[in-house]
Amino acid sequence: MAREFSQRVYDLALSIPPGRVTTYGAIAKAAGGGSMASRSITGILSKAPNPNVIPWHRIVYAGGKVWMNPEYEAARLKLYKREGIKLNDRGYIIDFEEIFYDFSELN
């Protein structure tokens, strides 16, 4: 069962379209997890068969807050610019509600 959940999480992460973002919670919910499952998404994806193909920049915190780390900041900002995703000076996605991807489009 855990393996099936992990595979769904991986498949969902890969399905996030360019120019759109989703949250850890939305992935957990769409994969069939409970309210606390969002805490496991990063761990699951980091153990995926090929974590380098996961569009990590498209997965953000609730409310549109972007995780930034000095090691990845420049690369992430470049990806956001390429996909037309804009951030404010506090690290939140501008127009988050408009570009939020909740996976209902998969059904």
Topology adopted by domain 2-102: Arc Repressor Mutant, subunit A (1.10.10)
> What confidence category does residue 107 fall into, taking pLDDT thresholds of 50, 70 and 90?
low
Neighbours of 103 (CB within 10 A): 15
Burial class of 35 by CB neighbour count within 10 A (0 to 12, 13 to 18, 19+): exposed
User: Per-residue pLDDT for 1 more than 90?
Assistant: no
Contact in structure between 77 and 85 (CB atoms under 8 Å): no
What percentage of the chain reaches a pLDDT higher than 90? 80
What average pLDDT does range 11-33 have in this prediction? 96
Domain boundaries, the chain: 2-102
Specify the pLDDT at position 40: 94
What average pLDDT does range 65-77 have in this prediction? 91
Both tokens of 4, joined, read 């099936």
